[in-house]
Structure 1
Amino acid sequence: MAQSLIAGVGMTAFEKPETGDRPYWDMAAEAGAQALADAGISYEDVEQVPVGHCLQPSTAGQRAVYALGLTGIPVYNVNNNCATGATALMLARQLVEGGAADCVLALGFEKMRRGALGAGMDGGDFAASPVARHYGIMAAAHGFEATPPTAQIFGNAAREHMERHGTTEAQLAAVAAKNHRHSAANPRAQFREVWTVEEILAARTVHRPLTKLQCSPTSDGAAAVVVVSERFAARRGLRNRAVEIAGQAMATDTGDSFASGSCIDVVGLPMSRAAARRACDSAGLGIEDVDVVELHDCFSINELLTYEALGMCAEGASGELVESGATTYGGRWVVNPSGGLISKGHPLGATGLAQAAELVWQLRGEAGARQVAGARVGLAHNIGLGGAAVVTLLRTS
């Protein structure tokens, strides 16, 4: 099969919603223009464009790319919940590796409202929610409280992990402390304040044991990735800066997600594990080969669960892993050097592409003060409840 390469990346700063009146198409055009300039090409070279967004109108993708050019090429609007950005990247890779195009722009953006996300209910009808089954299992095990639904289902997964494995609230807070510390070196991050474990534990509780500083915020922002074929890269002299997509896989919910009645499984551990295994197999790499990881820490517990899904530690040992320093600078891996979703921000359609952009900068040695020394292999993990998990392995070519 033909190999695909990332030739260019771009990303806006991620910001609090409603901090200005900047429209989504303007943010998208900025990120797209950055990616094209980074690759040294023009929009006229692009043959197809998958565009990820969750909360904008159905053909918002066209409105966004028309600001880059009016060339008449196919534009696909992609929505896969919080895994939308990585899904757009996967479609771009498949178009290139399948021979349908030599140059594809994957673009993702979101303009959000302040406040917590709901449960995906249509007009308040819980039965119509695409994640009704997931929340139904949570309610059967834990009831349904008057707290934000997404924080509630992940918070209940944290309670289960604590009861089952002895994970502590301090270990959960250590995830957030690490990622807030990392974001201080990221000029594109929504938050750049550094918080201690004690300060994170003392913050307002959203759903016990999760405090506000352990929850990803709603955000406005955009990110873009240019994916090209080897022949395009060779023809245009792009090979020396290109980063290879070594392996990629998507998994969705299986019976294992629901059989146990556990929130740990309902929020995506089984599908993350399956996607990681398939991506590593396709790349011929293992987690031991990875240097830097951008993973979906929508809540601190999800970073711990993902350590286990990726094989970074044994089941139940993730709290000890983060507490040991193994997932920060000087440790075995550097996880979320960007600050992750918790601190960098989480504009739904852009998140997966922003993860890829961070890894490309890391693998090129262009990450500045947050550079992971000697990074050669990166892993991105992007998950959406209800459900999709995408794992992507990148390496320097």
Structure 2
Amino acid sequence: MKSYIVGVGMTRFEKPEGRDWQYWDMVKEAGGAALADAGVAYEDVQQVPVGYCFQASTAGQRAVYELGLTGVPVYNVNNNCATGSTALMMARQFVEGGAGDCVLALGFEKMKRGALGSGADAGSDFATSPVARHYGIMAARHGFETSPPTAQIFGDAAREHMEKYGTTEAQLAAVGAKNHRHSAGNPYAQFQDAYTVDEILASKTVHRPLTKLQCSPTSDGAAAAVVVSERFVEERGLGDRAVEIVAQSMTTDTRESFASGSCIDVVGQSMSRAAARQVYEKAGLGIDDVDVIELHDCFSVNELLTYEALGMCEEGESGKLVASGATTYGGRWVVNPSGGLISKGHPLGATGIAQLAELTWQLRGEAAARQVPGARTGLAHNIGLGGAAVVTLVRRA
């Protein structure tokens, strides 16, 4: 059975505490926009998976009640930074499994200012953190410093890549420069200022070699997607709005993630590679068939690692790929036309769904100033430490 996205919506992603609103206000705005985009009412919705990391249990219900009180099942989803795509995957599975013809996937986050710690639910006791094994690998090879743990583990992965493949700081900064430039055309982005590579390099160092403008910020925001069956599309005449979810896969950590002792594997490159391979096999398509990509650039290095995981270049060649212009307008692919996590923002529970909102607009030709010409096929990649990697391939129906 096929599944389709027929409506999407999101709030602007904003600095935490920048607006006087609650998480249910965010969900009302994003969810209402998605329902209006699809031309359906909340009363048509049969299942509601809701993703978030920092609010209390059943916050999903509290948020969704702003859209309606119909008694439908609401599922609270938490999968670290892959939470949004996990909620979307549940929505697809409900539709394809026959549990509903119309499902609303939601993701939101209301965060605190400052750097994210070791994980959404790490707690103060590092020894019992869900990501203790991951940081233990990092500490064994690189030690443990005072900079934010997530910046450390990705920064250490960047240093390993530089040492092994000759990747340069300028190539890492080129990712940040590209994504900040892209976000200048996105009214939903937290940041809309463009920077040169030199300005990226000159910004404050968070954990060498990563500077502030190569790191995703903490953010408030929400995103939503209406996922429906082929029957629903036909009955409601939604073919002109529909974007097909061609294939989707989630992978979690395997022995490979930890066996090498490398932060490159610990932060998820091997998970991402496996998820991408499964999606290509299911779809009968490959990366060369993709036009536009939204991927998880929580730090600039993760965009480079993901190029390799998705098969966009050979291992170790990702720095050269971004420097060549192959991943921006006029190149082979446009990667993160939204500005990505680095510049659009990263409210954990919303991120994965916001990626699909951007791809939906791109494939419909509705992305205005950031439109990728002729885009017909898109790919989303969302990852969370602890770990989960979700890859989704979509195309215009």
Contact kept, 8 Å, 2:123 with 2:129, in 1: the verdict is no
| 1:123 CA drift (Å) | 4.3
Which range moves more in the overlay, 376-385 or 118-127?
118-127
Aligned to 2:131: 131
Written as runs of structure 1 = structure 2, the 5 A alignment for 1:256-335 is 256-335=256-335
Aligned to 1:119: 118
Q: In 1, distance between residues paired with 2:122 and 2:8?
A: 35
Is 1:88 the counterpart of 2:75? The answer is no
Q: In 2, distance between residues paired with 1:95 and 1:317?
A: 39
Aligned to 2:368: 368
Aligned to 1:183: 183
- Gapped regions of structure 1 (runs ≥ 5): none
Q: In 2, distance between residues paired with 1:229 and 1:316?
A: 41
Q: Tell me, what secondary structure is at the counterpart of 2:160? A: helix
| 1:25 CA drift (Å) | 0.3
Q: In 2, distance between residues paired with 1:371 and 1:114?
A: 32
**Closer, same or farther: CA 123–362 of 1 in aligned 2, 3 Å:** closer
Aligned to 2:34: 35
Q: Tell me, what secondary structure is at the counterpart of 2:182? A: helix
Q: Deviations over 1:28-67 (max 9, x none)?
A: 1100000000000000000000000000111110001100
Q: In 1, distance between residues paired with 2:123 and 2:223?
A: 30
| 1:282 CA drift (Å) | 1.0
- Number of equivalences: 396
Q: Tell me, what secondary structure is at the counterpart of 1:6? A: strand
Q: Tell me, what secondary structure is at the counterpart of 2:226? A: strand
Is 1:103 the counterpart of 2:96? The answer is no
| 1:124 CA drift (Å) | 2.0
Q: Tell me, what secondary structure is at the counterpart of 1:349? A: helix
Q: In 1, distance between residues paired with 2:197 and 2:5?
A: 37
- Gapped regions of structure 2 (runs ≥ 5): none
Q: Tell me, what secondary structure is at the counterpart of 1:261? A: coil
Q: Deviations over 1:263-306 (max 9, x none)?
A: 00000000000000111111111000000000000000000000
Q: Tell me, what secondary structure is at the counterpart of 2:111? A: coil
Contact kept, 8 Å, 2:154 with 2:299, in 1: the verdict is yes
Which range moves more in the overlay, 124-133 or 156-165?
124-133
Aligned to 1:229: 229
Contact kept, 8 Å, 2:122 with 2:131, in 1: the verdict is no
| 1:313 CA drift (Å) | 0.1
| 1:20 CA drift (Å) | 2.0
**Closer, same or farther: CA 98–123 of 1 in aligned 2, 3 Å:** closer
Q: In 2, distance between residues paired with 1:117 and 1:342?
A: 14
Identity of aligned residues (%): 79
Q: Which amino acid aligns with 1:43?
A: Y
Q: In 2, distance between residues paired with 1:12 and 1:280?
A: 31
Q: Tell me, what secondary structure is at the counterpart of 1:395? A: strand
Q: Deviations over 1:180-219 (max 9, x none)?
A: 0000000110000100000000000000000000000000
Aligned to 1:79: 78
Aligned to 1:157: 157
Q: Tell me, what secondary structure is at the counterpart of 2:192? A: coil
Aligned to 2:174: 174
Could you state the TM-score of these two structures normalised by the residue count of structure 1? 0.99
Q: Tell me, what secondary structure is at the counterpart of 2:118? A: coil
**Closer, same or farther: CA 310–42 of 1 in aligned 2, 3 Å:** same
Q: In 2, distance between residues paired with 1:74 and 1:123?
A: 29
Q: In 2, distance between residues paired with 1:122 and 1:225?
A: 29
Q: Tell me, what secondary structure is at the counterpart of 1:350? A: helix
Aligned to 1:53: 52
| 1:122 CA drift (Å) | 4.8
Q: In 2, distance between residues paired with 1:46 and 1:195?
A: 43
Q: Tell me, what secondary structure is at the counterpart of 2:348? A: coil
| 1:88 CA drift (Å) | 0.3
Aligned to 1:64: 63
Aligned to 1:246: 246
